Amino acid sequence: MTALAFTALTAGYGGKTVIRELDGEAQGGEFIALLGPNGCGKSTLLKSLAGILASSGHITSNETNVRSISAVKRARHISYLAQQRDMVWPISVRDVIALGRAPYRGPLGKISAEGQAKIEAVIHRLGLSEFAERSILELSGGEAARALLARALVVDAPLLLADEPFASLDPAAQIQMTEILKAEAESGKTVIAAMHDLALAQHYADQIWLMKDGIFIAKGSPDAVLTDENLVQAFGIHPPKGGFSLPRIAKA
């Protein structure tokens, strides 16, 4: 079964069309990097797929029409990590992560033992144990981003849509976050992440979807997409000689 398929997906804001007639397909276990210049429609595509933004066209996930299921069912199926990370209330990291279990809450708001176990597991896995009781407002940008990623992972949905999860993070944090997303994909999930770092995309993505002005100009393996011609068309840049290279994380 195809984890995600969409055809003729069109969406925009206030009468202005941002993405036009997009078709795409993703399988379980795939990590897809969504690339393109600012304003090309990456966020609009992710919001449409997440059901946050009204759109036209078909979206199916595992043969199910995503529009025909309830918002709560959809929420269990598609996890969405927003680009904006503005938290206003001083809520503990553990409580923020627990919000990811909202689609599974009972009528009295209780989180099941299974849900609690998932919360503890993700806190441990993302190395958040020492911050778990701290207010999210007290964390550094990188720590807060990791906590919010944990919030998105704890939904445990087969499909994860992440909108620039590494924006404003330092290089080491970017690599760590990408590795977490890659591991998530390797566990059988489908991960689609909008990003700007071409080297990260080249090294970690199974597929790259390259956008410009609301349409895909290329889709496929990193080597097939990150060509001189495509990069000039999308960003007006040539790829570096010798290919994209990533810094390596030093052993502590």
Partner 1 sequence: MKLFLLIAAALTIALASLFIGSANIAPLTAIKALFGHGEEAHILILQQLRLPRTLLGLAIGAGLGASGAALQGYSRNPLADPGVLGFSACAALGAVAALYFGLRAYVPIFALIGAGLGAGVLVALVGQRKRASVLILAGVGLGALATAVTGLIMNFAPNPWALSEIVYWMMGSLREAGPAALLYCLPLTTLGLLALFITAPDLRTLALGEDTAQSLGVSLPRLQILLVIGVALCVGSGVAVAGAIGFVGLFIPHILRALIGADPARLVPYSALAGAGFLVLADMATRAISSNGATLYLGILTSLIGVPFFLWLATRKMSS
Smallest gap from residue 167 Cβ to partner 1 (A):
15
Q: Is 199 in the site for partner 1 (CB under 8 A)?
A: no
| Bridge partners, 160 (sequence order) | 79, 191
Region binding partner 1 by CB under 8 A among candidate stretches 76-84, 183-191, 208-216, 241-249:
76-84
- Given 1, 2, 67, 72, the residue binding partner 1 (CB under 8 A): 72
Which stretches within 87-219 are classed as H helix? 93-98, 113-125, 141-153, 171-186, 198-204
By CB under 8 A, what part of segment 125-154 binds partner 1?
148, 151
41 Rama sector, left if φ>0, alpha if ψ -120 to 50, beta otherwise: left
CA distance 97 to 104: 13
In whole angstroms, the minimum distance from the beta carbon of 188 to partner 1 comes to 21
Q: Which of 216, 241, 239, 220 is nearest to 229 (CA)?
A: 239
Does position 215 interact with partner 1 (CB under 8 A)? The reply is: no
- Smallest gap, in angstroms, from Cβ of residue 62 to partner 1? 18
Nearest to 4 by CA among 64, 48, 56: 64
| Minimum CB distance to partner 1, residue 173 (Å) | 20
Q: Contact 187/19 with Cβ under 8 angstroms?
A: no
Quick one: which segment of 82-90, 170-178, 195-203, 212-220 binds partner 1 (CB under 8 A)?
82-90
CA–CA separation, 148 and 165 (whole Å): 9
Interacting positions 38-67 with partner 1 (CB under 8 A): 47, 50-52
Q: How many residues bind partner 1 (CB under 8 A)?
A: 33
245: how many CB neighbours lie within 10 A of its CB?
10
Distance, C-alpha 59 to centroid of its chain: 17
Per CB under 8 A, which region of 33-41, 99-107, 190-198, 228-236 contacts partner 1? Answer: 99-107
Q: Using the rule CB under 8 A, which residue among 105, 134, 203, 219 binds partner 1?
A: 105
Which tokens is 161 given? 């849509």
Any contact of residue 191 with partner 1 (CB under 8 A)? no
Residues 150-189 that bind partner 1 (CB under 8 A): 151, 155
Helix (H, G, I), strand (E, B) or coil at 207: strand
The residues that touch partner 1, with contacts defined as CB under 8 A, are 47, 50-52, 70-72, 74-76, 78-82, 84, 86-91, 95-96, 99-100, 102-103, 105, 109, 148, 151, 155
